[in-house]
Amino acid sequence: MQETDTSIELVLDGQPIRVSAHGSVAGALLEAGVAWLRSSPRAHGPRGAFCFMGVCQECAIVIDGRRQQACLVTPRAGMTIERGGVR
Ligand code: FES
Domain boundaries, the chain: 7-82
Q: CATH assignment of 7-82, given 3.40.50.300, 3.10.20.30, 3.30.2020.30, 1.10.620.20?
A: 3.10.20.30
Q: Which mutation among 34, 47, 50, 83 tests ligand 1's pocket best, with the greatest number of atoms within 8 A of CB?
A: 50
Dist. CA 29–CA 46, nearest whole Å: 15
User: How distant, in Å, are the alpha carbons of 1, 21, 42 from that of 73?
Assistant: 30, 11, 27
Q: Is 36 a pocket residue for ligand 1 (Cβ < 6 Å)? A: no
- Is the distance from the beta carbon of residue 77 to the nearest atom of ligand 1 less than 6 Å? no
Share of the chain above pLDDT 90, in %: 80
Q: What is the mean pLDDT of the chain?
A: 92
Residue 85 scores a pLDDT above 90: no
**pTM greater than 0.85:** yes
